[in-house]
Structure 1
Amino acid sequence: MWIRAILVAVLVCLLILHFLKLLKTFKKYPRGPPLHIIAAKFIWAGFRVYPNLFVETAKEYGNIYTLWGVTLHIVILSGFRAVKEGLIKNSEIFSGRPVTPFYQAVAQEKGIVFSNGHTWKQQRKFGIATMRKLGMGKKGVQNQIEEEAHQLVETFAHTKGQPFDPSLPILNSVCNVICALVFGHRYSVDDEQFLKLMKAIEYSVKFGGTVFHLLYEGFPWIMKHIKWPYKKAFAAVDVVLSHASRETEAHRAQLAVHDPRDFIDYYLLQMERSKNDPTSTYDDANLFQCISDLFVAGTDTTSATLQWALLLMVTHPDIQEKVQKEIEDAFGSSQIISYQDRKKVPYTFATIHEIQRFKCILLAGNPRLTVDDVTILGAFIPKGTMVVPDVHSVVYDPKIWETPQKFNPNHFLDKDGKFVDREELLLFGAGARMCLGKEMAKMELFTFFTSLLRAFTFKLPEGVTEVNSEPVKGLTMTPHHYKLCAVPRLSDS
């Protein structure tokens, strides 16, 4: 009996000490509500309250506030001023990446997205330099994007104007752009290895934000011993890494020293040059994870945006018609529309940017970790704090956008109808951790969108009058599966 009493007393003392420690910690951070209250509201009401839930929280606690958990504290940057002050003006201080338990198990702090310090700096620097080299070559990224856009138009044409789901063909084409960049070749849509790779990438993305993912992050010491909910997720990661390994070995067998063809070639050459450098982080493990990062970050986001684009053209036929007229007036019947031609079609380019704003595919900006103490807008944020930029508070801010809740391409046009690049569109991040595939993604969106809109008029199937415009719940906000008709433009006349 007395042993039980001692254990209870010890437990009470530990709880009191933990509570006192939390009280001391609270004073260091910006004020804010308990994390479980926000999470409960979010789960109860679903995505329909977003972004209002966090906007209301910012009204009560300010544009920089803390969500408090038992072991986890997250500082939220709300509104463009706070996000800019953190991610851009204090870019280096906000350059860390918090590595949560699940992503530590998945990526082991390798590659670009989930690494920090020296490893991150080396891998990112190499990634940026290599993306530029690949984009400027004779067979650069733009050429491959144009080829994939042509293939996608052909695929849509085979439907002969009948209802079909565009999601898989779009995903195929976007994934093949990354394949060409990384592996130096595209795959047939019937290739078993390609289909397996796509399914693995898709599942990896969809797993993020699920209940089991969140349970692993919250209770890793328990969940890592419960294998079955994570078997498929870890298997999907292994598929991507194994594919990267096979492609790397094939490249080693025929390494193009004088004429590197793709990302793997450039990386293997860098490994050879750095083999006597004790500070080098260029190795197979980092290469495989870099490849995984490129596929996961570059496939789902662009694919989802293009799916939203076609859905919005269906529901806004007046805007679709205006885009088509501008493309016809600028290019006529020429076969190729290059990204360099974007200034000739300002309304079309503005429409693409408005699609990204209006159907923001990010639940929130990628989390950062402060590498030093910092004070921004009067709020002190300690070193080692997880910071999340609330992207929705920026892209739907009525103080920034004339009609934030309405699809309106004029948000990106000046009074003379010229395109205006708005810095408030932060979907590719900002500062030191800005997405290194930003320019490639912009090239893809422009080339695919203009190619499809020139070739087809998109309509709802006969008898269908409404579409589900709510996003699928996950870390990215993708549309529900839908069907449309791609009517060849020649039939319009």
Structure 2
Amino acid sequence: MIIYKVFEFLDLTGWLVFISVFLLVADMIRNRSPPNFPPGPRPLPLLGNVFTGVDFKTMIKLSEEYGPVFSLRRGSERVVFVSSYKMVKEALVNQLDSFADRPIIPLFHVVFKAIGIALSNGYLWKMQRKFANTHLRQFGGGKKTLEKNIEQESTFLCEAFQEKQGMPFNPHYFLKTAVGNVISCVVFGHRFDYRDDNFQNLLRLDNEAVLLSGTARAQLYDAFPGLFSYLPGPHHTIHANYRAITDFLEKEVEAHQKNWDPEDPRDFIDTYLTEIGQRMDDPKAGFNIESLVVCILDLFEAGTESAATTLRWALVYMVNYPEIQEKVQAEIDRVIGQSRQPNMADRPDMPYTEAVIHETQRLGNIVPLGFPKMASKDSTLGGYFIPKGTVIITNLATVLFDKNEWETPDSFNPGHFLDSQGQFRKREAFMPFSAGRRACLGENLARMELFIFFTSMLQRFTFSPPPGEMPSMEGLMGFTYSPEEFLVQAHLR
């Protein structure tokens, strides 16, 4: 009765004050951190830490202030960031099963729908990943066939460079087409010409989506998807681009269905269509046409973006460090010569080239914040309690630049991967493909592509900047960390 009387005498201002206080108290109760949860900057009521930068450099500064395991709040969702080689290894390797799930990411869920390979969980994820792993290795004779595809594509790439006749050009989409064609041969059974407008448009749509996905405005959608669905912003462009890409992929699947012969599979799509028929009694495994399209998108993005971006960084570094480019070319001339193409059998005899490729991956820092993971059970990390369902982001940049692991972490130094005798040495803190159960599915393919494409380019050409246009070594932060657009000249050796 007393509460009723109070409400009766409240004016508009009083109501606004009451509602504000109520929302603040509700937010404090709802978003109260569990005991012994990782520390972090104080969140704003209702909003959390949405005004904190989303780039890896900001996360590095926060880790220096709050420690290698700290937290932020995006809206009502708590996110734990893990930094340094020691802590990332603890999370991904030592606690192999604790942080292997994927959270729902609203920005991508619209398209990927928690099916396919990259963003699925549980039994469905295990079945889809196992199938992709098996058939990527096995299709067409396995590793040697993939190697031949890469060697053939490297020829097309070098021919495209040669057509520029030493004049300045942007290598971005030449490299992306070359790498994209390798996975296209595996998935679609054919490659695309470098002048194919439809394929070039596909690559540009994907590149735009990748860049926009890393912006602060796009990630606001993840914090407040219900609200931002009705507001303008880059998330609409990202979703539109992915819809156009999936339309392209659906047409490829439809074309395969028209002349599909289960007894003679030509590629990944054909093999998956057969699996759909054989898994009719196991719907939880998720084998259907919708999942096939998402799997293709997963494979295409994983098989194109990181390797192509790494090769772009390689050209940036070779142009900025011509003395290193000369040493790589000297090793190529000594081991391979000019009369034949490079192949994977050459790699053990080329430690310096291998070191340069690894250092490009390290300093290039292609996926600095990895891909979000989620605690699959209540866990402890760095002495802090991590409840089941908490989003985990591993700052791989802090692993690749860890001052305790690398002699000159902020410099391009191939010596990081060479021993005192000049032989290649592996480094445990080298994690560009992440680690653990969610490590990159295409790691072996990417390693082959990087070695063959890189050595083929430097065997045929010397790369230099146009006069007065040295490529910047500062990158652009999207979902991946990529070079700014640049021009280069490719001179025949």
Judge same fold: TM > 0.5, yes or no.
yes
User: 1:330 aligns to what?
Assistant: 335
Structure 1 pair 212–54 and aligned structure 2 pair: CA distance change class (3 A):
closer
| Residue 162 in structure 1 maps to residue 167 in structure 2 | yes
The one-letter amino acid paired with 1:34 is R
Matches within 5 A, 1:122-133: 122-133=127-138
Q: Which residue is equivalent to 2:126?
A: 121
Q: Which sits farther off after the overlay, 435-444 or 163-172?
A: 163-172
Deviation at 1:382, TM superposition (A): 0.8
Superimposed CA distance per residue, residues 174-208 of structure 1 (whole angstroms, 9 cap, x where no aligned partner) = 11112111100001122232123222222221221
Which secondary structure does the structure 2 equivalent of 1:478 belong to? strand
Shift of 1:134: 2.8
Aligned CA distance change for structure 1 residues 302 and 272 (closer, same or farther; 3 Å)? same
Once the two structures are TM-superposed, the CA of residue 347 in structure 1 deviates from its matched residue by 0.6
Q: How does 1:30-429 map to 2 (within 5 A)?
A: 30-34=38-42, 40=51, 42=53, 51=57, 53-134=58-139, 136-137=141-142, 140-226=145-231, 229-429=234-434
Give the Cα separation in 1 of the matches to 2:479 and 2:50.
Answer: 14
CA distance in 2, matches of 1:465, 1:6: 62
Read off the aligned partner of 1:425 and give its amino acid letter.
Answer: F
CA–CA distance in 2 between the matches of 1:199 and 1:306?
Answer: 17
2:440 paired residue among 435, 443, 467: 435
> Could you give the per-residue CA deviations for residues 387-436 of structure 1, whole angstroms, max 9, x where no partner exists?
11111111111211111111111101111222112221111111111110
Which range moves more in the overlay, 425-434 or 217-226?
217-226
% identical equivalent positions: 37
Kindly indicate whether the alpha-carbon contact (under 8 Å) linking 1:34 and 1:69 is maintained by their aligned counterparts in 2. no
Q: Answer whether contact 1:28 1:382 (CA < 8 A) is retained.
A: no
2:485 maps to 1:477: no
Separation (CA, whole Å) in 1 of partners of 2:140 and 2:93: 26
Separation in 2, partners of 1:374, 1:276: 36
Amino acid at match of 1:456: F
> CA offset at residue 243 of structure 1?
1.8
Q: Unpaired segments of 5 or more residues in structure 2?
A: 1-8
Distance (whole Å) between structure 1 residues aligned to residue 456 and residue 119 of structure 2:
35
**2-side partners of 1:435 and 1:180: how far apart?**
20
**Mapping 1:435-454, distance limit 5 Å:** 435-454=440-459
Taking the aligned partners of 1:258 and 1:340, their CA distance within structure 2 comes to 34
Match for 1:19: what amino acid? M
1:466 Cα deviation (Å)?
A: 3.6
Number of residue pairs aligned between Structure 1 and Structure 2: 481
- 2:69/2:81 contact within 8 Å kept: yes
AA at the equivalent of 1:33: P
CA distance in 2, matches of 1:80, 1:254: 50
CA–CA separation in structure 2 for the residues paired with 1:138 and 1:368: 30
> 1:263: how far off?
1.2
Report the equivalent of 2:5.
none
The AA in structure 1 aligned to 2:452 is T
Inter-CA distance 12–38: structure 2 relative to 1 (3 Å threshold): closer
Matched, 1:29 2:45: no
Q: TM-score normalised to the size of structure 1? A: 0.92
Letter in 2 for 1:73: R
Higher mean C-alpha deviation, range 329-338 or range 444-453: 329-338
Q: Mark the CA change 1:35 to 1:317 in structure 2 (over 3 Å): closer, same or farther.
A: farther
| Structure 1 CA distance for aligned equivalents of residues 322 and 132 of structure 2 | 40
Q: Residue 40 of structure 2 aligns to which amino acid in structure 1? A: G
Kindly provide the CA deviation profile for residues 301-357 of structure 1, in whole angstroms up to 9, marking residues without a partner as x. 111111110111011111111100111111122322112321010110110000011
Instruction: Give the letter for the 1:20 counterpart.
Output: I
Deviation at 1:41, TM superposition (A): 6.1
Partner Cα separation in structure 2 for residue 264 and residue 348 of structure 1: 35
Secondary structure of 2:471's aligned partner: coil
Structure 1 counterpart of 2:223, which letter? G
1:201-253: CA deviation from partner (whole Å, max 9, x where unpaired): 22221221234412321221122123675443222112221222111122222
Secondary structure of the 2:411 match is: coil
Alpha-carbon shift at residue 8 of structure 1 (Å): 4.0
User: Residues 429, 199 of structure 1: CA spacing in aligned structure 2 closer, same or farther, 3 A cutoff?
Assistant: same
| Structure 2 CA distance for aligned equivalents of residues 422 and 459 of structure 1 | 30
1:474 is displaced (CA, Å) by: 1.4
Q: Classify the secondary structure of the residue corresponding to 2:303.
A: helix
Query: Does the 8 Å CA contact 2:50/2:220 hold for their aligned counterparts?
Result: no
Task: Name structure 1 gaps, 5 residues minimum.
Answer: none
| Partner Cα separation in structure 1 for residue 51 and residue 284 of structure 2 | 46
Is the 8 Å Cα contact of residues 213 and 478 (structure 2) preserved in structure 1? yes
Distance in 2 (alpha carbons) for counterparts of 1:394 and 1:39: 25
